[in-house]
Structure 1
Amino acid sequence: MRAVDPVPDWGTLPRMLLDQAARHPEAVVIDDDGARTTLRDLLAAARRTAAGLVALGVAPGDRVAIWGVNDPTWVVRAFGVWLAGGIVVPLSARCKGLEAAGVLGRTGVEVLLTGDGPPDAVLADLLPPVPGLRHVVVPGHVGSGGPRLAASELLAAGAAAAGAVEERALAVRPDDLCEIMSTSGTTGTPKGVMLDHAQVLRGYWDWAEIVTLGEGDRYPVIAPFSHGFGLNAGLVACVLRRATMLPVRVFSPGTLMALVSAGGASVLAGPPTLFHRLLEELDRGAPEVTSLRVAICGAAAVPPSLITRLVERVGLERMINAYGLMEGTVVAMTRAGDPVEVVAATAGRPVPGIEVRIVDDDGKDVPAGERGEILQRGYGVMRGYWDEPGRTAEVVDEDGWLHTGDVGVLDEAGNLAVVDRKKDLYIVNGFNVSPAEVEALLLREGSLAQVAVVGVPDAVSGEAGWAYVVPGEGASVAVPGLLAWARANMSGFKVPKRVVVVDALPVNANGKVDKPALRAAAMGET
């Protein structure tokens, strides 16, 4: 029996928006510092974008990339792509030219929509030539010409194609892809996770119902729209449930109180450090918070004292812990009525329609309370990696089980605790980082013969990357210059915190780089 009400029979994101706008046209779904967007407004603007894309030759199933910070334009463009029958390929606003070109080339993107980026960042100015990329739409303040179109030109081009949008939107099927999300991998090349309309609708309808997100809620979306959580548990969930999203362009701890107090936030998602900071600000005399009712953490250990203090000081109704991953959407969540100890130590039980197993290295189930790899099966498992059936088969077995690479424990009641990672990834400020990807990028700088990157604990960012580098023959490595190159060519969270120049990398008995030795060396210096 489902523990939540079933998702309405929309089937696709375009039909969901059309129905919501018809039934609730005045519901406010975006509040951008006082500038409000209703469902009627969102649909009208998305239709204009969709018509422009059709005029540019975007066909059903074509990939359209979106780059920029969280703002209303991003929301409009996402729904515009979906109304036109296209597939959204999000690009992180932090990514630089080389990173973006790789994603665009691998997914065959022909149209790139760029908006406002972080301060002083314009992706179109950093982008090397990308085969197949026909159009780059840029903000009005950025020069157009050639393959570049101003945003106003996109909308003007759509005037002749406006009549085709409704037909396109209604032709989209539930099993059509809606997103290709980039995810870090251990091979050096990010993979494209394919998700379809039906699984995104069901996954985040259920997520929102368990969270109790609904009309009247005000929800700051801090996670980037280019990330699975920001896009689906933020942008999509708010439109699904007619909640008001407060898009956060660039988050800083100093803006937290303004979001929660002046912004009237009722739902807030983030790591435990975010909520510690909230309490610290209150202790320093910040205005009292009365609107916040639900807090959401992601598969993190939450001190019970933090939950208790939030309930006592802020009047919090619920702290929710949850676990999901790009390849598997939503996997497990705590529920209303769970005791503090369960919320603090686990991500709760699997959501309806999802099965979870814990297995040993031989693929056999382990007893409750023992560690093993988390396997997941159900509607939320991705359709595969874009154009990479071999890599898909490595993680989704013939019985449909997704091998997550995460290590977990199931207790007797079925609560899942995520305790470690099998994959060679580390997390910087909430972002997964692939050492192999960083290594591959650093080697493109030109002065290095070998690179090995490891993640080590860090008091500020949770974990940080350390790069051990061997100079190329006849080359010398200037660490400040290498770091400057890295900052110019890769996302900030991928830039190593420290670079160590060595004559040779240690190897193990199998001749592979001995990363445990490097990690131990790094931790010995911290």
Structure 2
Amino acid sequence: MSASVPAAFADAVARHATRIAVVGEDGATLSYAELDARRIEAARALAALGVRHGDRVAIWAPNGIEWIIAGLAIHTLGAVLVPVNTRMKGQEAAYILEKSAARVLFCAGRFLGQHFPSVLGAHRPQTLRQIVVIGQAEAGDFTWAAFLARAHERGVEDVAAAAARVAPGDRLDILFTSGTTGHPKGVITAHAQNLRVIAAWSKAVGLNPDDRYLIVNPFFHAFGYKVGWLAGLLAGCTVLPHAVFDAGAILRRIERDRISVLPGPPTLLISLLNDPARANTDLSSLRATITGAAAIAPSLIERTRAELGFKVVLTGYGLTETCGVVSLCDAHDDAETIALTSGKAIPGIELRCVDADNRPLGPGESGEIVVRGYNVMQGYLDDEAATREAIDADGWLHTGDVGVLDARGYLRITDRLKDLYICGGFNCYPAEIERMIAAHPAIAQVAVVGVPDARMGEVGKAFVVRRADQSLDEAELIAWCRERMANYKVPRQVVFVDALPTNAAGKVMKFQLRS
């Protein structure tokens, strides 16, 4: 196995030079050889902007061919990729840019009705030297074309030398994940461990050069990036990025582009199954999907096979802290196993459930899920205390999730220690959402919990104590939240209460709110 992402991509280019590597939503295509040339050009331009080995470079843009080119260019120089969620507002994005000390930002121009550089605007950190605008630029933006025009300032040999210096243990990326503290934490992972995880995932899904891999999962997430476009390219597939989920558009692309691989959260599968256009769409090309991140009914697995025609339907479990993957089902597992478990640990990874004293539990006993092996992160960026709290002295990563292992080693997740809920496939951390809502001048106290939702899996419900003599209604608060936070974090329901239920220590008893 190659020791670095640039070396692994070079191997793929050597094997598949004339095959189509990527197809844009507009039908534009690049062969592997052409994509490689674009990668080198972008890496030369990045080097001209002063980016060196170990520097952080962020991407805040929707799925597209330029995202892939920029990502490969960052990897090529041995710089560190920092993906930023496209649903974030300016203040949220600025926190990640500042915390990571990103020197350069590749940024969408106009997307989802907003001009991203303007959204960042006054929040822009001083550490950010340059913003490169991808697509729909406005006057004054430093465009993608202007960026590429800088490539002539650095030679091809400079880029080749930089790629050759990238070592297996070098940082590949920093992906930010929220948690109980309310502030996102930067998860650091390296080249070699990610390549090994990608290889295990690709083997389970059976990725091969004949596959046409449609990626709706956002590139700012491990699902869309690591086991998304990167896995697809390293396996020699044709990768087809898709920017915004729309069931009708996805069905049209499946038929037009003969899609064979299409992973996504249960929300995606349910939306496709329920779309009236499905009955008249040719889905015969579909081969494999992988889902997870929420409770799934066995009937959904059966329908995904029978009505969407997938031959391979898998579920899995993973965290940003594990390069995205911990466990996977097997293609031959029955519908009940696939729906009710998250599979067994990928090869080379240890998985166990432990009690409150960190003692391992037997099959069928419920406890905290812990993971040990090559997939565990190097640590949290500039946060040794949080790293020590997450990874114990014996190297076990404590996930904060509660589960049960059966006699076969298959994992069933039963609860979450950290209040996390999952809305449309996105992790929502109440502590972070509460911290943002608490800034509202009319609010004295707030608690957020996840509640079931037929379409999104779960949505946020906020319990709010108003300040004395202040007025605020549900619609006003939801509108205020929409201006300041990513849409999936915005509570869909608000209940005003006189007081929140607390225990003797003053901690809010969220189980009472949920019930």
TM-score normalised by length of structure 1? 0.92
After superposing the two structures, state which structure 1 stretch, 424-433 or 265-274, moved more: 265-274
2:104 corresponds, among 103, 111, 118, to 111
Distance 1:58 1:501, change over 3 A: same
The yes-or-no answer on 1:179 pairing with 2:173 is yes
Distance 1:54 1:275, change over 3 A: same
State the shift of 1:352 in Å: 0.8
Whether the 8 Å CA contact 1:179–1:194 is kept in 2: the answer is yes
**CA shift for structure 1 position 204:** 0.6
Q: Distance in 2 between matches of 1:15 and 1:349?
A: 30
Deviation at 1:248, TM superposition (A): 1.2
Taking a change above 3 Å as real, the CA distance of residues 435 and 277 of structure 1, as seen in their structure-2 partners, is closer
Equivalent residue in structure 1 for 2:182, among 172, 178, 188: 188
Instruction: Provide the residue aligned with 1:199 in structure 2.
Output: 193
Matched, 1:26 2:18: yes
Cross-structure match for 1:78:
71
Partners of 2:343 and 2:477 in 1: how far apart?
44
Where does residue 438 of structure 2 map in the other structure? 443
Q: Find the counterpart in structure 1 of residue 377 from structure 2.
A: 382
SS in 2 for 1:432: strand
Residues 437 and 280 of structure 1, relative CA distance in 2, 3 Å threshold:
closer
Name which of structure 1's ranges 64-73 and 509-518 shifts more when overlaid on structure 2.
Answer: 509-518
Q: Could you say which residue in structure 2 is the equivalent of 1:489?
A: 484
Deviation at 1:332, TM superposition (A): 1.1
Q: Percent identity?
A: 43
Distance 1:484 1:400 in 2: 44
**Whole-Å separation in 1 of the counterparts to 2:278 and 2:18:** 39
Is the CA contact (8 Å cut-off) linking 2:248 and 2:277 kept in structure 1? no
Q: What are the equivalent positions in structure 2 for 1:396-435 lying under 5 Å apart?
A: 396-435=391-430
Equivalent residue runs for 1:323-402 within 5 Å: 323-329=317-323, 330-402=325-397
1:64 pairs with 57, 64, 77, which one? 57
Aligned to 1:138: 133
> Which residue identity lines up with residue 297 of structure 1 in the other structure?
T
Q: In structure 2, how many angstroms separate the alpha carbons of the residues matched to 1:305 and 1:451? A: 37
Distance (whole Å) between structure 2 residues aligned to residue 300 and residue 149 of structure 1: 40
Instruction: Report the counterpart of residue 291 of structure 1 in structure 2.
Output: 285
Whether the aligned pair in 1 keeps the contact of 2:133 and 2:143 (CA below 8 Å) is yes
Aligned to 1:102: 95
Q: Give the corresponding residue for 1:122.
A: 115
Q: Distance in 2 between matches of 1:376 and 1:485?
A: 39
Hey, what's the Cα distance between the residues in 2 that align with 1:111 and 1:68?
13
Equivalence for 2:160: 166
Measured at CA, do residues 472 and 159 of structure 1 come closer, stay the same or move farther in structure 2, by a change above 3 Å?
farther
Contact 2:391 2:398 in 1 (8 A): yes
- The secondary structure found in structure 1 opposite 2:186 is strand
Paired position in structure 2 for 1:156: 149
Identify unmatched segments of 5+ residues in structure 1.
1-7, 521-526
Residue 253 of structure 1 and its aligned partner are, at CA, apart by: 2.4
- Corresponding letter in the other structure for 2:188: M
Q: Give structure 2 stretches of 5+ with no counterpart.
A: none
CA drift of 1:109 comes to 1.1
Note the aligned Cα RMSD (angstroms): 2.1
**Corresponding residue for residue 235 of structure 1:** 229
Write out per-residue CA displacement over residues 214-248 of structure 1, whole angstroms, 9 at most, x where no aligned residue: 11111111110001111111111011101112211
Report if aligned partners of 2:172, 2:190 keep a CA contact under 8 Å in 1: yes
Q: 1:300 to 1:308 in 2, by over 3 A?
A: same
Instruction: Say which SS state the counterpart of residue 268 (structure 1) adopts.
Output: coil
How far apart are residue 116 of structure 1 and its match?
Answer: 4.6
Post-superposition Cα deviations, 1:165-189, rounded to whole Å, max 9, x if no partner, equal 1111111111111110111211110
Is contact 1:442–1:486 with CA below 8 Å preserved after alignment?
yes
Shift of the alpha carbon at 1:501? 3.2
Q: Normalising to structure 2: TM-score of the pair?
A: 0.94
Distance 2:318 2:24 in 1: 28
SS at match of 2:372: strand
Residues 109, 137 of structure 2: 8 Å contact kept: no
Secondary structure in 1 matching 2:317: strand
The structure-2 alpha-carbon separation of the partners of 1:410 and 1:441, relative to structure 1 and needing over 3 Å to count, comes to: same
> Which residue in 2 is equivalent to 1:524?
none
1:461 equivalenced with 2:461 (yes/no): no
Residues 48-107 of structure 1: CA deviation (Å, up to 9, x unaligned):
221121111112101111011101111111011111221110011111101001111111
Which of 4, 13, 31 matches 2:5?
Answer: 13
Give 1:5's aligned residue. none
